[in-house]
C-alpha cells in the first residue's frame, strides 16, 4: 500500500509538491488551505541595503516588477528551493541557509551583513531589527473555505506542513482527539510541528526545509512490504 500524503500548501507550491511526491512513489492528494495573494508595496532604494533576505519563493512569485530594481542585492535564502527560485529571477545568491527563518539571521551576521532588506509574507517569523533594517510584506495567504467532508482524506494519511500557519489551521480544523489519532504529520521544522499541537498519530520533521528532506523523514511511516 502506498503512503498517502495530503498536501496543504497553497498553489503553485501545492502542485509542485504533489509532482515531487508522486515521483518519489507516494500517493499525493491536494488540499490547499490557503491562496496566496500579492500585496501592494513600495520598492526601497537598494543602495541603502547590503543584502536581500528571502525565506520563501512566494516573495519572488508575488513580488512583481519591483524585484527588478533589487537585483543588485545579493540574496540570503532559506532552503535550496528558495535559492533556486532567486537565481531563476536573476539574483546572485551569496548563501543558502539549511535551517529555519531564524537561522538566516545568524548566517547574515556571519557574512557581515548589517542592513538587509527582507521581503516576506504578511504572516511571518522574522521582524525588523538587528541585521534586518527593512522588512516589507509583499504577499499574504488568504484562508480558503474547507468543507468538513473534505477533511476525511486526512484520516490514515500524512498531512504535510510547510508553514506554521498551515499547522495552526489544521489544528483548528481537526480538534477532536479521536480524529487526530488517525492522522500523521510531517513538518518542515520542529517549530512548525509544535504549532500543530499534540494528539496526532505521529509527527516527523524534515532535516532541512525542502520536500526531499520531508519525504526522507517519512521513511518510518512507510507501509511494510510483505
pLDDT tens across 101-122, in order? 778 999 999 999 999 999 999 9
Confidence of residue 2 (pLDDT cuts 50, 70, 90): confident
Q: CATH says 4-35+143-221 is which class?
A: alpha beta
Cα separation values, 95 from 15, 77, 98, 124, 133, Å: 27, 7, 10, 21, 19
Ranked by mean pLDDT, the top range of 5-9, 79-83, 96-100 is 5-9
Confidence of residue 135 (pLDDT cuts 50, 70, 90): very high
CATH topology of domain 46-139: Rossmann fold (3.40.50)
Interval 53-57 mean pLDDT: 92
4-35+143-221 and 46-139, same CATH topology: yes
pTM value is 0.81
Interval 56-70 mean pLDDT: 95
Compute, in degrees rounded to 10, the torsion defined by CA atoms 114, 137, 61, 142: 150
Kindly list the domain boundaries of the chain, sorted by start residue.
4-35+143-221, 46-139
pLDDT value at residue 81: 85
Amino acid at each position: 500500500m502506498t503512503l498517502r500524503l495530503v498536501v496543504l500548501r497553497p498553489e503553485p507550491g501545492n502542485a509542485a509538491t504533489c509532482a515531487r511526491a508522486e515521483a518519489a512513489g507516494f500517493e499525493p492528494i491536494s488540499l490547499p488551505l490557503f491562496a496566496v495573494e500579492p500585496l501592494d508595496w513600495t520598492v526601497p532604494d537598494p543602495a541603502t541595503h547590503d543584502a536581500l533576505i528571502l525565506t520563501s519563493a512566494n516573495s519572488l512569485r508575488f513580488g512583481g516588477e519591483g524585484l527588478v530594481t533589487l537585483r543588485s542585492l545579493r540574496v540570503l535564502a532559506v532552503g535550496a528551493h528558495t535559492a533556486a527560485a532567486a537565481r531563476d529571477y536573476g539574483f546572485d545568491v551569496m548563501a543558502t541557509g539549511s535551517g529555519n527563518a531564524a537561522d538566516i539571521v545568524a548566517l547574515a551576521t556571519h557574512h557581515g551583513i548589517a542592513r538587509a532588506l527582507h521581503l516576506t509574507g504578511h504572516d511571518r517569523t522574522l521582524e525588523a531589527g538587528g541585521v534586518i533594517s527593512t522588512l516589507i510584506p509583499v504577499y499574504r495567504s488568504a484562508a480558503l473555505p474547507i468543507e468538513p467532508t473534505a477533511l476525511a482524506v486526512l484520516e490514515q494519511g500524512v498531512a504535510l506542513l510547510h508553514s506554521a500557519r498551515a499547522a495552526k489551521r489544521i489544528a483548528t480544523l481537526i480538534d477532536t482527539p479521536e480524529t487526530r489519532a488517525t492522522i500523521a504529520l510531517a513538518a518542515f521544522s520542529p517549530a512548525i510541528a509544535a504549532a500543530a499541537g499534540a494528539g496526532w498519530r505521529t509527527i516527523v520533521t524534515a532535516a532541512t526545509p525542502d520536500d526531499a528532506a520531508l519525504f526522507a523523514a517519512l521513511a518510518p511511516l512507510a507501509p511494510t512490504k510483505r
